[in-house]
A and B are shown apart, each in its own frame.
Chain A
Amino acid sequence: MQRVAITHVAQSSGMESKESLMDFTYRVNKEILDKAGLKRREVGCIVAGSADIFHSGLSCANAFDWDGIGAFLKEGSRAEESAFSFIYGCMRILSGRYETVLVTALVKGSENPDNDPITSFYGDPFYLRPVGVNESVVAAMQMRQYLERYGVTEEQCAKVAVKNLGNALFNPYADRKRRVSLEDVMASERVYDPLKALECAPKSDGVVAVLLASEERAKTLSKKPVWLSGYGCSMDHFHPGDRDLLKGQLPAAAQRAYKMAGIDDPGKQIDVAEVCEPYAFQELLWCEHLGFCGEGQGGRWIDSGMPLMDGALPVNPSGGVLATNPYPARGLYRIAEAALQIKEEAGEHQVGKKVRTALAHSTHGFGGQCHSVVILSA
C-alpha cells in the first residue's frame, strides 16, 4: 500500500496579525514552499482548512482563501475543519494520483466575534440556541459531571492550565504567553462555573501549513519525513442531551487510529501527544479516552507528572489550545507540532525523550462532538 508523509511544516504566530488574511496566508505558504524548495506549480494539489462566515466574515471561505494558499488554477478543495483537510490531503496522496499535496489551515480570530457566540450556532435555532448553549456552556456542564462522577478536583483540572501555559513560554508561536501559578488559575474569574477564565482557550490568529508527499517523493524532499501511521475519526449525536458527555466518541476514534497503526498499549507506545484542549479539564478527560490512563484517573495522571514536558508521556509541549486557539486551524497545529517533535525541530519545546511515535488530536463542536486522532511515526 502507498504511504504518505509530512515532509515540511510552517506556521504563523497565534498572536494578532496586522496583515490581511490573504497576505497572512500567503506568507506561511511561501515559507513552506521555500523550505521544500518547490515552486507553486510543482505542487500536485492544495487543500484548505477553514471555516466560513462566523470565523471569517465571508461566506464560502474557500473563495477568499484560494489566492493566499496558492491554489490559482490548481487542483484543490477545502474542508471545514483542519484535521479533516489534513486527512483529505493524505487521501489524495494515498490514491496514487498525487505526489505532493499542500494542506493549509487559516483563520484570523482577531477579526471576528468571540468563540462563544460563534459556537452557539452549532446548536439548532429552536431548542438549543434560545437557552444560551454554546461550546463553553456545554464544557462547564461536562466539567461539573467530570468532577462529580470521578471525584477529580478543580485543582487537578487547573494544573493543566499551569502546565500548558508554562510550556507555551518555550513556543515562539504561542498566543497567550504568561507564567501562571495554580493560585492564579483558581483565582481567575469563574466564567461558566466551574470553568475559570484561565482554563478556557483564548481566540487566536493562525496559519499553519504541512506539505504531504508520497513515499518516493518524501524521501527526496526531506531527510526526515514523518509518516502517517494511523487515523481515526468518530462523530457523536447532535443534541447534547442525547449524550453522556463523559463517554463520547473519542475512544472509538482512537481505537480506529491505534488499530491502523498497530498500537495496543498507547500509554507506552506513544512518545508525545498534542491534544486539543480548549478547556483545561478536557485534556484529562481526553487522555483517559485515549487510553493514557484509566477511567476517572485523569486527576491522578496529572498529579503523577507523566504529561509534563519531562514526563513519561508529555502532553501538549507546545502549550496546546489553551495557549493558542485559531479555532478551525487548531487541529492542524496539533498535527504540525507532533510532526516537529518527531523531526526534532520543535526548538525550545522539544521534549527531552526520543520521539518515534506521536499522537495528534483534534476536536470541534460541543464537548467533543467530533474527534479526529492522527498517529505519526518516524
Chain B
Amino acid sequence: MGNAVAIIGTGQTKHGRRSDVCYPDLVREAVTAALEDAGITLKDIDGIVLGTMPSMMEGVSSTHFYFAEAMGSVGKPVLKVETCGSTGQSIGHCGFFWVASGMADIVLVVGSEKMSEGDGQATMTTVFDPFFQRTFAAGAPGVFTMQSMEWMYRFKIPEEKGREAAARISVSNHDNAMDNPHAHIRTRVTMEDVKNARIITYPVRLLDVCPASDGACAVIFATGEKARKICRKPAWIKGLGFRGEEFFYGESDKAIWMSATEAAAEAYRQAGIRNPLKELDVAEIYNPFTYQEMIFYECFGFCPRGEAPDYVLKGTFLKDGELPCCPSGGTLCSNPIGATGLIRLAEAALQVTGKAGARQVEGAKLALSHAMGGVDQFNGVTIVGSEL
C-alpha cells in the first residue's frame, strides 16, 4: 500500500472573531502551536502546503505569498491546493502524498480563514456560474436547505421528526463545544432555543447554522520512520478519499449524495473498514448545518438511508453513544472555512492519540474526519488510527 505516513503534531488558534491579530499572525499562531506540539522547528520542515478559500474571500489572491513569513516558507518548497470548503481535507491529502512520495520527510500543512474581514456568502454566490445559477443563488443556506428538504421529502421523514433530530444535533454540538477551548461558539442552548430561533431559510433556523469564524490550523505529516523517532504517539493515516460530482446543482441527486458516499467508501476500503458504525470510535464531520449532518451519517454508512433522525433521537452519535460525532463541537460551533476540514483532521488525530483533553472520547483508536465543498459538489474523508 506504499509508504506509511503519520501526523506528528497539530496546532489550532482560538477560533472566533480575532480582531486582535492580522491575518498572517493568525496563521503564525497555528503554525507555532503545531511545531511546539511536534517538538520540532521550521528547520525540520521540508515542504509546506497551504489552502484557503478563494481570493474573493481572502481579499488577497495567492495567499501563499501573503503568509510566506507566517508559515516560515521563505526559501522552502510550497504547494497551494484549494478545493473550496473541502480545502482542509484536500491539503491534508496533499501533505500525505508529498510524504508518501518520498520527496519529503516532514511536511507542514496549513489552512486558514479570517471570515470577519471578508464576505462569506457573497463569495459562495460566485461559486455558481454567472449565466444560469448565480442569479438565484442565495449563498450557502439556500443550497443546504434545498438539499435538506429534498432529503426529507425523498425518505418521507416527517417534518417534526427532522426538526426534533436537527435540534438535538444543535444542542449536542453546542454542549461539546463547551469542552473545546478552541471553539468559537461556547454557549449552551436548549431544544426550545433551537426550535424558536430566527428562521434563516425554512426550516433552517439560526442555531442550525455555523458561525463565520476567524481561525487557522496546522498539521505536520512525517514518514513512518521519522514519526517513530520524533513522536511518542503519532496518528497514522489509514485511508483517504476525495470525490466530486457535477458542477450544475440540478444534475446530481443530493439526497443520496454520491460524492460523500464514495469518498467515504474509498477511505474505508483503504483502511479495511467494513462496518463503520462498529469499527470507528469517533467521527469529526463537516457539519455547517444540522440537517446536513444527518445526510452525512447516511452517506458514511453509519445508518441506513432515511433513518438518521431515528439514530440521532436514540443518542447513537452523542459523546457517550455508540459512535460519538463531533466531540469538538464541530463546524457548527467554529467555521473558519479554509481551516475547517483540517481542524476535523487535527481533532481526529488528537482523539486517537489521547490528546483531546476534556473532549476526549475514552479509548478512541480509529477516527474519521471529513470536509465538504463547493455547492454540495465535493467531499473528502481521511481516516486516522492509533496504530498503523
Contact = CB atoms under 8 A, between A and B. Distances in A.
B374 A63 contact: yes
Contact of A234 (B75, B102, B241, B259): B75
Interface string B233-256: 000000001111111000000000
Contacts of A59: 53-57, 84, 123-124, 126-127
A22 B245 CA distance: 14
B102 A73 contact: no
Interface residues of A, number: 62
A80 B97 contact: no
A58 interface: yes
B81 A77 contact: yes
B201 interface: no
Contacts of B76: 234-235
Given A63-B84, A72-B246, A256 B77 contact: yes
A191 B166 CA distance: 60
Interface string B59-74: 1111011111100011
Nearest to B248: A67
Contact of A365 (B65, B84, B94): B65
Interface string B243-278: 111110000000000110010001000000000000
A261 interface: no
A75 B3 CA distance: 19
Interface in B111-127: 123-124, 126-127
Interface string A241-273: 000000001001100100000000000000000
A122 B57 contact: no
A237 interface: yes
Contacts of A78: 81-83, 90
Contacts of A256: 77
Contacts of B57: 59
Contact of A124 (B54, B60, B77): B60
A97 B1 CA distance: 7
A72 B59 contact: no
Contact of B68 (A80, A84, A95, A236): A236
A79 B242 contact: no
Which of B1, B79, B244 is packed against the most chain A CB atoms within 10 Å?
B244
Contacts of A80: 62, 64, 80-82
Nearest to B66: A238
Nearest to B125: A59
A73 B243 contact: yes
Interface string B25-69: 000000000000000000000010000011111011110111111
A16 B207 CA distance: 48
A74 B59 CA distance: 31
A377 B233 CA distance: 41
Given A53-B56, A59-B57, A62-B83, A94 B103 contact: yes
B2 A95 contact: yes
Given A60-B127, A80-B62, A122-B60, A75 B241 contact: yes
Which of A2, A59, A92, A232 is packed against the most chain B CB atoms within 10 Å?
A59
Nearest to B50: A80
B373 interface: yes
Contacts of B258: 73
A131 interface: no
Given A59-B127, A237-B69, A238-B66, A92 B78 contact: no
Which of B2, B97, B130 is packed against the most chain A CB atoms within 10 Å?
B97
A76 B242 contact: yes
Given A60-B54, A63-B127, A233 B78 contact: yes
Interface string B84-112: 10000010011001101111000000000
Given A76-B244, A121-B61, A60 B102 contact: no
Contact of A63 (B73, B80, B247): B247
A91 B100 contact: yes
Contacts of A369: 65
Contact of A73 (B59, B60, B259): B259
A335 interface: no
Contacts of A92: 97, 101
A87 interface: yes
Contacts of B245: 66, 72-73
Nearest 10 CB-CB pairings of A with B: A60-B84, A94-B101, A96-B2, A95-B100, A233-B77, A52-B54, A91-B101, A121-B61, A59-B54, A80-B80
27 contacts: A52-B54, A52-B55, A57-B126, A59-B56, A59-B57, A60-B54, A60-B82, A60-B374, A62-B82, A62-B374, A66-B246, A66-B247, A67-B246, A67-B247, A71-B244, A72-B244, A73-B243, A75-B242, A77-B93, A84-B79, A93-B101, A95-B2, A95-B3, A118-B61, A234-B77, A235-B75, A253-B77
Interface of A: 1-2, 22, 51-54, 57-64, 66-67, 71-81, 84, 87-88, 90-97, 118, 121-125, 231-238, 249, 252-253, 256, 364-366, 369-370
